[in-house]
Structure 1
Amino acid sequence: MTIATKPARDFTQVQTWVFDLDNTLYPHHVNLWQQVDGRIRDFVSNFLKVPADQAFKIQKDYYKRYGTTMRGLMTEHGVSADDFLAYVHEIDHSPLEPNPAMGAAIAQLPGRKLILTNGSVAHAGAVLDRLGIAAEFEAVFDIIAADLEPKPAQQTYDKFLRLHDVDPAGAAMFEDLSRNLVVPHALGMTTVLVVPDGDAEVVREDWELEGRDADHVDHVTDDLTGFLAALNAAR
């Protein structure tokens, strides 16, 4: 179901559909990201030689302040991005199941479809393959393409738009973090916040679930497939 759709930008002019990856193209309650989260904690613990509980605090502090824990580790400790990404994305993707209904809904959207993620191309590829929707996307813009500068940094969106020749006034952005929609909205994109299904248990920080009533959020949904299907039916 769609939780809320307030009077805001619509999708009339949208010809480019931009999707975040984790917790956006698959439900929050799959908790796939919890595997990555645990691997990040272990990396921090091993690299900084601190106990797991201290590593967890550092991990979350860097994530909130820098956009990703990796960026914080690079800035404050000189961590190698390649080493970090290879380690933390070594997870079991089997909890993800094919989603042909979402694939069909994405396929019916008019125009281009792109991925904009703070993860890696390899991780994105594994997720899209498990979901069975890889063929629907033109390209993946990952943290490497972003010069290791994660969302919500302005320069990351600027580079993405420039590299893929996207007019933000004719684009929509789907994200699970409200703060990552601030810049897209300011640039002119129609924004959609994908939130957890209220009936399912999710493991997220409180701040990650905030912002659904923010001015920079045009639409909110807890069912991406249903939301896209409704858009197609209305066109």
Structure 2
Amino acid sequence: MTVAAPDLSNIRFWVFDMDDTLYPPEQGLMGLVQKRINAFVVEAVGLAPEEAAVLQRQFLDEHGTTLAGLMANYAVDTERFLREVHDVPLDGLEPNPRLAEVLKRLPGQCFVFTNGARDYAGRVLERLGVADCFEDVFAIEDADLTPKPAPATFRRMAERFGLDMQSAVFFEDTPKNLEPAKALGMRTVLIGDGHGKPLEPHIDYQALDLLDFLQSLSFKDAAA
């Protein structure tokens, strides 16, 4: 359910997906990653690029990431996959000092929970200028390569960060990745248009832009 005036005054644990959440998808970074994933699948599986793209979408729907689908169906060098597909230039990614300011003003602690690789996450956060806004990052290696939306991965993330679920919120651009968070008791915020899919009950709020949403919050009644 979406509401005009979000109330997150009780939140002390702020968990953010990274790609297409901390920055707008229009900046094109994930398109570069997808091209490298496609090239990897073409080589690993021996498909034409168009067929590889279809297989990628199937793996995303069924397994959460292309890598998880490859691991379930083929012998694949996982370290090489993570290294090659995330080795993309970040030139098109715009630093966002205003986002850094707003994140630092949030009451409590901020974390990143991503299906991306650890080194890649570090590069992206540094490029955005928000790396020092976060207490910790939970990357795909920390999940033993089992991606969101696997409930076990959410539980591992929550344990790692020491979350109190009733005072935690998760921001994410993929609707299905919010469902396990809601099941654990977290508040959920969908960033973006949800890829055109209708909103479901496990989504508490929706915002087209993360910065606009965070700037709309009021903490005047929150403890310092």
Same fold (TM over 0.5): yes
Report the Cα offset of residue 223 of structure 1.
Answer: 1.7
Aligned residues: 221
Report the Cα offset of residue 122 of structure 1.
Answer: 0.9
Does 2:88 match 1:95? no
Deviates more, 1:9-18 or 1:49-58: 9-18
- Considering only aligned residues, what root-mean-square deviation do their CA atoms show, in Å? 1.8
Report the Cα offset of residue 233 of structure 1.
Answer: 6.1
Describe the shift of the 1:114–1:96 C-alpha distance in structure 2 as closer, same or farther (beyond 3 A): same
Report the Cα offset of residue 51 of structure 1.
Answer: 1.1
Does 2:21 match 1:24? yes
What is the aligned partner in structure 2 of residue 221 from structure 1? Answer: 207
CA contact (8 A) 1:120 1:143 kept: yes
Of 63, 68, 71 in structure 2, the residue corresponding to residue 66 of structure 1 is: 63
What is the aligned partner in structure 1 of residue 136 from structure 2? Answer: 139
CA contact (8 A) 2:9 2:218 kept: no
Does 2:150 match 1:153? yes
Report the Cα offset of residue 232 of structure 1.
Answer: 4.3
CA distance in structure 1 between the aligned counterparts of 2:220 and 2:128, rounded to whole angstroms: 25
What whole-Å deviation, never above 9, does each CA across 1:30-59 have from its counterpart, x for those lacking one? Answer: 121000001000000011122111111111
CA distance in structure 1 between the aligned counterparts of 2:125 and 2:91, rounded to whole angstroms: 12
CA contact (8 A) 2:6 2:217 kept: no
Report the Cα offset of residue 18 of structure 1.
Answer: 0.1
Structure 2 length-normalised TM: 0.93
Describe the shift of the 1:8–1:101 C-alpha distance in structure 2 as closer, same or farther (beyond 3 A): closer
Of 193, 197, 216 in structure 2, the residue corresponding to residue 210 of structure 1 is: 197
CA contact (8 A) 2:109 2:135 kept: yes
Q: Give the aligned residue type for 2:101.
A: A
Report the Cα offset of residue 74 of structure 1.
Answer: 0.6
Describe the shift of the 1:208–1:65 C-alpha distance in structure 2 as closer, same or farther (beyond 3 A): farther
CA distance in structure 2 between the aligned counterparts of 1:8 and 1:171, rounded to whole angstroms: 18
What is the aligned partner in structure 2 of residue 183 from structure 1? Answer: 180
Describe the shift of the 1:132–1:8 C-alpha distance in structure 2 as closer, same or farther (beyond 3 A): closer
What is the aligned partner in structure 2 of residue 115 from structure 1? Answer: 112
Report the Cα offset of residue 234 of structure 1.
Answer: 5.6
Does 2:165 match 1:168? yes
| Runs of at least 5 residues in structure 1 that lack an aligned partner in the other structure | 197-206
What whole-Å deviation, never above 9, does each CA across 1:61-89 have from its counterpart, x for those lacking one? Answer: 11111000000001100212211101100
Q: Give secondary structure in 1 for the equivalent of 2:89.
A: coil
CA contact (8 A) 1:17 1:112 kept: yes
What is the aligned partner in structure 2 of residue 203 from structure 1? Answer: none
CA contact (8 A) 1:18 1:173 kept: yes
Q: Give the aligned residue type for 2:197.
A: E
CA distance in structure 2 between the aligned counterparts of 1:94 and 1:233, rounded to whole angstroms: 35
